[in-house]
């Protein structure tokens, strides 16, 4: 081992506490980078393989009723590699243990053999026998939520007829990776199921003999999707086509894609932000260490070592810490990524999900860490290299404090000697103080942003399920019904208030931008389901025009006053041109609102409603649900409290739990920054502090001189950190927001207070560690340190 390498080993051991703290700061940023990249890679690769193995279709074309021979015409279209027709219909499941009816969708499978497209993955039991019309295969996640297994029976109402069905198998499907009831946003395994039946049985149930109501197509990779959709729509239009759409608009795939894209967006913003803060801290530490060893550098050069050799020595110092932190972060990223996989399986129903490493993330993490760690040291070394050995070996000229502000007699009278020493240190070395202050402020900003994110998620839930939706129950119908249905529901004892809704599926167009979504028609002055403005005040829906959610307006790049083109996908499928009257705040989904009377008039279906919001007497809930079960036109009944609990669970235990991980990482970085600031200050003033002890100052007074400086800097950093935290929150919230939910940017004093307490706690703990080192310091050794 060369002399310089021996010095490197001694230096690392001497500042092992700081080196470990810096390595941990690097490791936290790298952990996030590796974990996020691995999760993205895992979700994308597993989804691709799952789709390919089970032949998930590329085009879905719902239709009211089309004869079976039309499938041959669809299969003959250019670029179509496979086509299949199937039967689907809504079902209402009744379980003995529940009063609330549960929504389901029934899907046909061929009487014999595997389907050409959209095959299922059987997890338990067997396929149904076409000779037995009451045998079904049930969605695995729904069955597990209700402890159902092969051999059990359940009651289901389909097309107005109640049937007792026998479960013979459990299955998963790539079509239902994210299982959610039509029209809803949040997956809840206990509230939505999928029933697979033989084609013969389901055709009899929905009167579809010799016909189908949904076509599934597979197309080549080079085929033009939009041209294919247009050809399919032209063929199915005479039979009541409801508008074909591609895989990207399939509900399940759309949510999985949003999760992946949200994670990718976060990975581009959050880990670099954390690594930037770590780099800033490293630059401060390395720069001060190099400046402190100025004389040693001169001595090394006097012994004949070149600038290149000296620079390589300090570069090795940086490399050891940076690579050590990066490797530790890679290991942590792998462990954390694997721990995240079961959380994703909770909501995305893959048969299995294995954490797949992304080699590029390792290279990026290590190179980024090295570059960040090297920057500060190299800038300082360049100044030192310009000195000759004789000049470098001499202490630098004492700084000129003649122009600094002097303390007046009155201030000297008010402050004791240790306090004046603290203030002189701060005012006479503003550059170093600002560096420490900004480091602590960045730590504070990370804590503020993460705590604000938690508050933002809570605000999203509260605003959506308390302020916007003030109903208790939502009842959806199998098809649009007349207004007299409202009076029939009002006659059920226990229903206090009703409010109708008309929802239609549409495609919005604005120039080259388009979005497949829905329009919700509400009464002019809604009480139970409301659109809100940016101040959370109810919006009065205009007689003409449409109100878009902010996320939808952004997606379509449209402003109030402009004209929006709308293709309706139901009924006569008219094309509408509607002015945008305003923008509403919606933190869940991307809704659009119109006056219900205006909407139904444009559709040519006045008075038709598709759902009703209810406010009920909760003491009579069981009787109300039993009454709703008996209505053949009811497609689904959902409790708002169940939806809220499902969303809260997803945020706490599913993909949303990522914010808790980042909060912990932010806390680690914050502590690392504060601890390093204290250690650096102690290393720089060790000889001064020992001199004070020899001069008669007590341990408490000496500690006050050092820790008072840290306290002043920490307190001064809090307001700056709060300001930076607001902008950090803006960046991170944008990275976390998806089409499923948007994270608001809130100024909540409690969030800033908690972040400040976290920084103060880190400062107190760091100060206690440094105070212990001051008390244990060897005065003789400290006084021998050369200035």
Written as one string, the DSSP assignment of 222-263 is TS-HHHHHHHHHHHHGGGTB---EEGGGSHHHHHHHHHHHHH
Q: What is the pLDDT of residue 681?
A: 72
Distance CA 695, CA 325 (A): 41
The three-class DSSP label of residue 561 is coil
Pair type for strands 153-158 and 161-172? antiparallel
Lowest mean pLDDT among 4-13, 97-106, 254-263, 448-457: 448-457
Encoding tokens for residue 437? Answer: 């202050």
Residues in the chain, total: 787
Pair type for strands 211-219 and 59-67? antiparallel
Maximum mean pLDDT: which of 18-27, 163-172, 337-346:
163-172
Q: What is the pLDDT of residue 384?
A: 59
pLDDT mean over 268-284: 71
696 Rama class: left (phi>0) / alpha (psi -120 to 50) / beta: left
Distance CA 378, CA 286 (A): 9
| Count of helices and strands (H, E) across the chain | 24, 20
pLDDT class for 379, splitting at 50, 70, 90?
A: low
Q: What is the pLDDT of residue 577?
A: 92
Is it the case that residue 130 has pLDDT exceeding 60?
Answer: yes
pTM (two decimals): 0.77
Q: pLDDT digits over 571-591, tens only?
A: 778 889 999 999 998 877 788
pLDDT class for 734, splitting at 50, 70, 90?
A: confident
Q: What is the pLDDT of residue 595?
A: 92
Q: Is 765 exposed, middle or buried (0-12, 13-18, 19+ CB in 10 A)?
A: middle
pLDDT class for 631, splitting at 50, 70, 90?
A: confident
Q: Are the beta carbons of 555 and 509 closer than 8 angstroms?
A: no
pLDDT class for 400, splitting at 50, 70, 90?
A: low
Is it the case that residue 739 has pLDDT exceeding 70?
Answer: no
Encoding tokens for residue 42? Answer: 């895992």
End-to-end Cα distance, the chain: 29
Distance CA 22, CA 287 (A): 14
Maximum mean pLDDT: which of 79-88, 217-226, 260-269:
79-88
Encoding tokens for residue 359? Answer: 């080699």
Closest CA to 674 of 757, 753, 774: 757
Q: pLDDT digits over 513-525, tens only?
A: 888 889 999 998 8
The three-class DSSP label of residue 158 is strand
Lowest mean pLDDT among 329-338, 512-521, 748-757, 769-778: 769-778
Q: Are the beta carbons of 273 and 32 closer than 8 angstroms?
A: no
Maximum mean pLDDT: which of 7-11, 35-39, 149-153:
149-153
Maximum mean pLDDT: which of 15-19, 25-29, 392-396:
25-29
Q: Which helix (H) or strand (E) holds 669?
A: helix 658-684
Q: What is the pLDDT of residue 735?
A: 67
Maximum mean pLDDT: which of 231-235, 431-435, 457-461, 643-647:
231-235
Q: Are the beta carbons of 197 and 109 closer than 8 angstroms?
A: yes
Distance CA 30, CA 332 (A): 8
More reliable by pLDDT, 412 or 231 = 231
Would you give the distance in Å from CA 532 to the centre of its chain?
24
Closest CA to 79 of 248, 230, 212, 253: 230
Residue with tokens 């079960």, as numbered in its chain: 629
Distance CA 519, CA 505 (A): 7
pLDDT mean over 538-552: 89
Q: Are the beta carbons of 603 and 568 closer than 8 angstroms?
A: yes
Q: What is the pLDDT of residue 406?
A: 56
More reliable by pLDDT, 23 or 720 = 720
Q: Which residues touch 488 (CB under 8 Å, ≥6 apart)? A: none
Q: What is the pLDDT of residue 381?
A: 63
Residue with tokens 């919001």, as numbered in its chain: 613
Q: What is the pLDDT of residue 410?
A: 57
Would you give the distance in Å from CA 338 to the centre of its chain?
18
Q: What is the pLDDT of residue 23?
A: 81
Distance CA 604, CA 520 (A): 16
pLDDT mean over 711-736: 82
Domain boundaries, the chain: 1-59+224-230+253-398, 88-207, 421-467+643-787, 468-642
Pair type for strands 575-584 and 546-549? parallel
Average confidence score pLDDT of the chain: 82
Would you give the distance in Å from CA 760 to the centre of its chain?
29
Q: What is the pLDDT of residue 262?
A: 76
Q: What is the pLDDT of residue 787?
A: 45
Distance CA 194, CA 192 (A): 7
Q: What is the pLDDT of residue 270?
A: 72
Lowest mean pLDDT among 8-12, 79-83, 351-355, 402-406: 402-406
Residue with tokens 């959050």, as numbered in its chain: 270
Is it the case that residue 404 has pLDDT exceeding 60?
Answer: no
Q: pLDDT digits over 655-675, tens only?
A: 556 667 767 777 777 777 777
Q: What is the pLDDT of residue 112?
A: 87
Q: What is the pLDDT of residue 314?
A: 75
Q: pLDDT digits over 91-128, tens only?
A: 989 888 888 888 899 999 999 888 999 999 999 999 99
């Amino acid at each position: 081992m060369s002399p310089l390498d021996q010095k490197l080993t001694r230096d690392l051991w001497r500042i092992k506490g700081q080196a470990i703290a810096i390595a941990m700061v690097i490791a936290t940023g790298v952990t996030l980078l590796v974990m996020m990249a691995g999760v993205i890679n895992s979700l994308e690769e597993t989804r691709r393989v799952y789709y390919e193995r089970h032949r998930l279709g590329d085009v879905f074309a719902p239709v009211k009723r089309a004869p079976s021979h039309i499938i041959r015409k669809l299969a003959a279209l250019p670029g179509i590699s496979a086509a299949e027709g199937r039967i689907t219909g809504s079902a209402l499941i009744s379980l003995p243990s529940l009063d609330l009816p549960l929504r389901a969708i029934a899907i046909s499978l061929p009487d014999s053999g595997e389907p050409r497209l959209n095959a299922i993955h059987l997890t338990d039991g067997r396929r149904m026998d076409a000779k037995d019309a009451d045998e079904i295969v049930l969605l695995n996640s729904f069955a597990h939520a209700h402890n159902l297994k092969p051999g059990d029976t359940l009651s289901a109402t389909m097309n107005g007829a109640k049937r007792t069905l026998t479960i013979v198998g459990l299955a998963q499907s790539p079509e239902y990776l994210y299982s959610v009831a039509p029209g809803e946003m949040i997956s809840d395994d206990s509230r939505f199921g999928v029933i697979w039946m033989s084609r013969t049985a389901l055709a009899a149930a929905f009167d579809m003999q010799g016909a189908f109501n949904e076509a599934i197509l597979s197309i080549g990779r080079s085929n033009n999707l939009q041209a294919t959709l247009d050809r399919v729509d032209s063929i199915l239009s005479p039979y009541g086509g409801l508008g074909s759409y591609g895989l990207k608009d399939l509900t399940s795939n759309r949510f999985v894609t949003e999760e992946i894209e949200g994670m990718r967006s976060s990975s581009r913003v959050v880990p670099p932000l954390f690594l930037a803060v770590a780099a800033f801290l490293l630059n401060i530490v390395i720069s001060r260490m190099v400046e402190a060893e100025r004389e040693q550098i001169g001595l090394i050069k006097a012994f004949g070592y070149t600038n290149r050799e000296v620079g390589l020595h300090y570069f090795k110092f940086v490399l050891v810490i940076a690579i050590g932190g990066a490797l530790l972060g890679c290991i942590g990223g792998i462990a954390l990524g694997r721990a995240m996989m079961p959380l994703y399986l909770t909501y995305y129903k893959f048969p299995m999900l294995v954490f797949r490493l992304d080699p590029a993330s390792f290279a990026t993490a290590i190179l980024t860490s090295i570059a960040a760690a090297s920057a500060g040291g190299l800038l300082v070394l360049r100044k030192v290299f310009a000195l000759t050995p004789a000049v470098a070996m001499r202490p630098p000229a004492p700084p000129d404090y003649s122009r600094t502000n002097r303390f007046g007699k009155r201030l000297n009278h008010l402050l004791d000697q240790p306090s004046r020493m603290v203030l002189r240190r701060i005012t006479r070395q503003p550059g170093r103080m600002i560096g420490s202050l900004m480091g602590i402020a960045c730590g504070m900003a990370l804590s503020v942003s993460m705590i604000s994110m938690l508050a933002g998620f809570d605000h999203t839930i509260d605003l959506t399920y308390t302020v916007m939706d003030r109903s208790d129950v939502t009842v959806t119908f199998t098809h649009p019904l007349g207004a007299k249905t409202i009076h029939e529901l009002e006659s059920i004892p226990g229903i206090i208030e009703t409010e109708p809704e008309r929802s239609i599926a549409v495609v919005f167009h604005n120039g080259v931008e388009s979005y497949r979504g829905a329009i919700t028609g509400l009464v002019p002055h809604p009480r139970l389901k409301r659109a809100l403005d940016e101040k959370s005040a109810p919006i009065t829906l205009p007689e003409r025009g449409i109100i878009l959610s902010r996320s939808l307006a952004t997606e379509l790049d449209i402003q109030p006053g402009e004209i929006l083109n709308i293709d309706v996908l139901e009924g006569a499928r008219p094309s509408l041109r509607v002015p945008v009257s305003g923008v509403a705040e919606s933190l869940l989904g991307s809704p659009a609102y119109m006056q219900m009377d205006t909407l139904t008039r444009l559709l040519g279906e006045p008075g038709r409603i598709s759902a009703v919001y209810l406010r009920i007497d909760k003491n009579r809930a069981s009787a109300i649900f039993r009454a709703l079960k008996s209505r053949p036109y009811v497609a689904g009944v959902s409790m708002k409290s169940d939806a809220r609990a499902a969303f809260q669970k997803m945020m706490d235990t599913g993909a949303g739990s990522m914010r808790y991980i980042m909060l912990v990482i932010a806390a680690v970085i914050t502590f690392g920054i504060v601890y390093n600031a204290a250690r650096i200050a102690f290393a720089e003033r060790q000889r001064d502090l020992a001199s004070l002890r020899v001069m008669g100052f007590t341990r408490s007074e000496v500690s006050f001189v050092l820790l008072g400086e840290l306290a002043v800097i920490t307190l001064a950093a809090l307001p700056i950190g709060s300001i930076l935290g607001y902008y950090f929150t803006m960046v991170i919230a944008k990275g976390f927001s998806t089409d499923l939910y948007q994270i608001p940017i809130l100024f909540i004093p409690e969030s800033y207070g908690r972040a400040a307490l976290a920084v103060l706690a880190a400062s107190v703990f760091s100060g206690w560690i440094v105070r212990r080192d001051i008390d244990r310091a060897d005065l003789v050794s400290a006084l021998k340190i050369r200035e």
